[in-house]
Structure 1
Amino acid sequence: MSLIFLNDYNKKVKFQKFNKFFAAFVALFPLIGSIMFFNYIDFMAYLGCAAFVYSPQLIERFFNIVVLEELRFLTVFQVMLHAIFGKFFHFYDKFPLYDSILHVTGGILLAFLGLSTFYGLEKRFSNYTPRAFKTKVSIASFNLVNSLGVIWEIIEFTADQIFGGTPGYRLAQEGSLFDTMTDLIENNMGALLAILIFWRVIELKKEKELPVDKTMKDLIKI
């Protein structure tokens, strides 16, 4: 199911096929590369990245919801930025601002996850006025980004405490409160950008009298 290609079946099918190829490439490329260079520590990390590539399928199975094709693309794109460019090609070390870019794009990804899910839930189970509906969905999505952002920072802190000093391990937080706080701020920047883009797309689709509300409601299979 696609929001952008809501009224174009052929483009939607092409988008789905592209997403499948894109996901396979991003999942396999760093895994194969780490085996070729005998880097088995990174291989284990890339296994986790490969699992995250296919997390939309797990979300659909366990939570009984439909994940938009746009969200699938953003998930794979985020993994590509981290696993292939960030770790495999060492962009984290070469470009000081690269980590900040990924926190912004991560905020965008998580916000779109929240927006699409909460939109469908509210359309299915509530009857708010348009302004209250938009406000609740936006705030809930923004809060989701912040909650998951804090959890991620805790994971980074824990990993640094366990693996800090291990040869080849790159400190996630660099022992700095400044790093943690800027990460959270960048997450919020991405979330706000995603919220603005999402509602603009919704408005454009409704101007064309496309069944946006029904499509988003159908994402929730409960």
Structure 2
Amino acid sequence: MEQSITDAAAAPRVPPQRHSVRRQVLDALRAALAAGELAPGEVYSAPALAECFGVSATPVREAMQQLAVEGAVEVVPNRGFRVAQRSARELAELAEVRALLEVPVMLTLAETVAPERWSGLRPFAEATAAAAAKGDRAAYLEADRAFHQAVLGMAGNQQLVIVADDLHRRAQWPLVHGQTVRTADLVADAAEHVALLDALEAGELALVEPLVRRHFAGAAA
């Protein structure tokens, strides 16, 4: 069933500016997906979305094509884009793959990176905490990705960062139909970032492994 975004919610808070239309449309669509404003299984046409944003259909199509690459939507020929439907099992599988990739790297970094270097990541952890406290899931997801990128970036392997980030983004949206994420869940997740950095800066390696494994055990939420 085709449906315009206005039937779900008024997505853009501020009309995109001409100098970065595609980027702003993409960001707004990601925020709408994170907030559940674009419903899983529904088809949205580029012209309808473009009208809502006050732009031409071209940047909307380009943004939606990027979301298709990320697995958030799928192309429906001659109709538009259908928001992907994820099952709880799919999200759990993505979380498991992320853990298989990231946990060993983080544990190796904990043993090889000097404790004082971890302090540079404090702003990333604080950003996740600030977004969580506001209950802003879209902002939290971006801050969460930035934190994990910063941690993995310390390994010096750019391909690792790219692959892990793609998995992370795929695990973030869209929500399972009917699923909600409470502010308390975001706050608890952000607190794990802070606790992990506290342990790393203090050189308390015995605390790092259980913190990392617990964090990924809840990554599907």
- Taking structure 2 as the reference length, the TM-score comes to 0.26
**Is the helix fraction higher in 1 or 2?**
1
**Is the strand fraction higher in 1 or 2?**
2
- Taking structure 1 as the reference length, the TM-score comes to 0.26
